[in-house]
Amino acid sequence: MAAGSGAASGHGARASTAALEASLDRRFQGVSNTMESIQGLSTWCIENKKHHGLIVRYWMKWLKKSDTNHRLNLFYLANDVIQNCKRKNAIAFRSAFAEVLPNAAYLIKDGKVRKSVERIFTIWEERSVYSEDLIAHTLIDQLSVHKRAIDEEVFREKQLEALRVDVCSTEALKRLKDKAGGNKFATDFEEGSLKLQEFVSFLEEELKTGPPLQDALGNADIFYEMQYKEVKIVANAYNAFANRVASLKRKLDALKSTLPGPEFSPVPSPSEDAPSPTGSDSPILGLGASRASLDPELDGKAMDEGDLVRDSVGPEDMDMSDEEGDSSMS
């Protein structure tokens, strides 16, 4: 009975997984660019957070299969899941998406759609969801893998060159004289043939990884070209501002040169032997009488009486973290 129940349980689990996969295919294929569709599927994904790995894997599957416009819908969906998963205690989605997002970004080749996707990445960076290095690091990893593959290719070529038998030449067969030489030739030939087959298999694998790397480099070129243009716009704006400041300084310097010097002051300076002012001539005599009208914020008594000055900062001026937002909403 125990074995039978175990088999039934395993069959039920497989059936449940198959049903979930079919549901994911249907949902990812049908998601549209409306807010209702995206938020509805996002909520469903977060509610099924225990299957986050499978959900992200199928998201990537449909991203590869879909056309350009539908890929943008899927990115909008990912954005909604990534930004709302933390407050729903489903933060695992962020790390799961981080593993596939760089390769996913390389699939976006249309200029208009790429601009929208880059805007999503910018929002993530501004809100400290993901860093700007997310794509760059993956590209560096791909280039490192490619560099190692080139080194291995050179090493295998040197191995083939060092073989004692040229497996591609028939001239060696004509030089055979006896059985011992024939046996040695057969052994060397088999060894060389094996290494040649391994090298051909290695090159076939490299042919598969080459085009994706070329696409990644092409997309990276577009991405960094756009980043360069944005930086150039900011740099030009600062240069223009610096030029305006320098122009204003020159005008102020020119105006300053036309002003009279201190020796032409309209207020005559007292002579060196002039007596100090006393009595009613004192310029600070009236300060005592006006003390009662001083601003209480400047009066020491206000501090003693606890009448502290407070800044008028409203709640709309404060940024709340996810945790603070949750607690305030509850």
pLDDT level of residue 172 (50, 70, 90 thresholds): low
Question: What is the spatial distance between Cα 4 and Cα 132, in angstroms, rounded to a whole number?
Answer: 53
pLDDT level of residue 317 (50, 70, 90 thresholds): very low
DSSP assignment letter at 85 = T
- Asked if pLDDT for residue 109 goes beyond 70, the answer is yes
Confidence at residue 75, expressed as pLDDT on a 0 to 100 scale: 95
Considering only residues 115 and 294, tell me which one the structure prediction assigns the higher pLDDT. 115
Average pLDDT, the chain: 74
pLDDT level of residue 274 (50, 70, 90 thresholds): low
Question: Which range is least confidently modeled, 25-34, 66-75, 164-173?
Answer: 164-173
What is the rounded average pLDDT of the residues 274-300?
A: 50
Confidence at residue 245, expressed as pLDDT on a 0 to 100 scale: 94
Considering only residues 328 and 46, tell me which one the structure prediction assigns the higher pLDDT. 46
What is the rounded average pLDDT of the residues 307-316?
A: 38
| Chain CA centroid to CA 161, Å | 46
pLDDT level of residue 76 (50, 70, 90 thresholds): very high
Q: Do 185 and 176 contact (CB within 8 A), yes or no?
A: yes
Confidence at residue 203, expressed as pLDDT on a 0 to 100 scale: 79
179 phi, psi to nearest 5 deg: -70, -40
Question: Which range is least confidently modeled, 41-50, 310-319, 320-329?
Answer: 310-319
- Asked if pLDDT for residue 62 goes beyond 80, the answer is yes
CB-count burial class (<10 Å; 0-12, 13-18, 19+) for 52: buried
Percent of the chain with pLDDT over 90: 27
**Residue located via tokens 């090298």:** 199
